[in-house]
Structure 1
Amino acid sequence: MKILGKLYWTEKAKHRIKNILPQTLFGRALLIIVTPLILMQAISTFVFFDRHWDTMTRRLAHTLAGDIAFIVDSLTPLPQQLHLNQIFLKADDILHIRLTYSPEEILVKKKHFPQWDRVRKSLRDALKERVRRPFSIDTIKKDRRIKIKVQLPQGLLNVNVHEKRLYSSTPYIFLMWMIGSSLVLFAIAIIFMRNQIRPIRRLAIAARSFGMGRGSSEIKPSGAKEVRQATQAFRQMRERISRQLAQRTEMLAGVSHDLRTPLTRMKLQIEMLERTPETRELQDDIQEMERMIDGYLTFARGEGSESLSKINLTSLIEEIISTERRDGSSINFVNKSKTKKSVTLRPQAIKRAITNLIINSKKYAETVRVELEYNLEHAVITIDDNGPGITPEHRDDVFKAFFRLDPSRNTDTGGTGLGLTIAKDIVQSHGGDLLLSEASLGGLRATITLPL
Structure 2
Amino acid sequence: MLGRLLKPFLPRGLFWRAALIVFVPVATILLVVSLAFIQRHYDGVTRQMTGNFVLVADHLRDEVDAAPDRATAEARAAALALVFDLNATVVPTAPPTATAEDLPFYDLSGRLAIRELERGLPEMTSVLLRRADVSLWMTTRYGQLQLDFGLGRISARNPHQMLVLTLVIGLGMGFVSFIYLKNQMRPMQRLARAAEAFGRGQTLPYRPAGATEVRAAGAAFLEMRERIERHIEQRTLLLSGISHDLRTPLTRMRLALSMFDDEPEAQALLADVAEMEALIDRFLDFTRSEAEEPVSPTDLGALVAQRVHEAARLGRSVDLIGAPEGPILPLRPQLLARAVDNLIGNALRYGRKARVSVTSAQGWAIISVEDDGPGIEPQHYDRAIRPFVRLDPARGASRGAGAGLGLAIVADAMRSHGGRLDLARGETPDFGGLLARLMLPQGRR
Aligned pair 1:320/2:307, yes or no?
A: yes
Kindly state the Cα deviation for residue 410 of structure 1 after the two structures are TM-superposed: 5.4
Partner residue in 1 for 2:344: 358
Residue 134 of structure 1 corresponds to: 124
Deviation per residue, 1:79-118 (Å, 9 max, x gap): 5536734642552x4433122332xx23343453318554
- On the 8 A contact 2:50/2:113 being kept in 1, the answer is yes
**One-letter amino acid of the structure 2 residue matched with residue 42 of structure 1:** L
Moved more, 349-358 or 376-385: 376-385
Q: Which residue of 2 aligns with 1:243?
A: 230
The answer as to whether partners of 1:330 and 1:366 remain within 8 angstroms in 2 is no
For residues 244-393 of structure 1, the aligned pairs below 5 Å read: 244-272=231-259, 275-326=262-313, 327=315, 329-334=317-322, 340-365=326-351, 368-375=354-361, 377-393=363-379
Judging changes above 3 Å, is the alpha-carbon distance between structure 1 residues 366 and 294 closer, same or farther for their aligned structure 2 residues? closer
Q: 1:167 to 1:439 in 2, by over 3 A?
A: farther
Mark the CA change 1:251 to 1:369 in structure 2 (over 3 Å): closer, same or farther: closer
Partner of residue 21, structure 2:
32
Partners of 2:336 and 2:412 lie apart in 1 by 10
Matching residue of 1:173: 161
> Do the aligned partners of residues 161 and 407 (structure 1) sit closer, same or farther apart at CA in structure 2, a change above 3 Å counting?
closer
Offset from partner CA, 1:323-368 (integer Å, 9 cap, x none): 22332625232478xx843222221111111222222223444554
Task: Tell me the distance in 2 between the aligned counterparts of 1:71 and 1:437.
Answer: 98
Distance in 2 separating the partners of 1:335 and 1:168: 79
The Cα offsets for residues 148-173 of structure 1, whole Å up to 9 and x where unpaired, read as 22233332222221122233255222
Segments of 5+ residues of structure 2 without an aligned counterpart are none
CA distance in 2, matches of 1:402, 1:156: 107
TM-score of the two chains, using structure 2 as the length reference:
0.87
> Which of 48, 54, 73 does residue 62 from structure 2 map onto?
73
Aligned to 1:57: 46
In the alignment, does 2:182 pair up with 1:194? yes
- What fraction of aligned residue pairs are identical, expressed as a percent? 31
Superposition pairs of residues 192-231 of structure 1, within 5 angstroms = 192-216=180-204, 218-231=205-218
1:65-86 Cα deviation digits (max 9, x unpaired): 2222222222114555367346
Counterpart in 2 of 1:394? 380
Partner secondary structure for residue 236 of structure 1: helix
How many angstroms does 1:191 deviate by? 1.0
Q: Give the direction of change, closer, same or farther, for the CA distance of 1:409–1:437 in structure 2 (3 Å limit).
A: closer
Distance in structure 1 (CA, Å) of the matches to 2:357 and 2:154:
78
Tell me, in whole angstroms, the C-alpha distance in 2 between the residues paired with 1:408 and 1:445: 13
With 351-360 and 310-319 compared, the bigger mean Cα shift is at 351-360
TM-score by length of 1: 0.86
Structure 2 counterpart of 1:49, one-letter code: I
User: CA separation in 2, counterparts of 1:270 and 1:358?
Assistant: 32
> Quick one: structure 1 residues 114 and 259, their matched pair in 2 at CA, closer, same or farther if it must change by over 3 Å?
same
Q: Contact conserved, 2:422 with 2:438, CA < 8 A, in 1?
A: yes
Unaligned runs of 5+ residues in structure 1 are 1-9
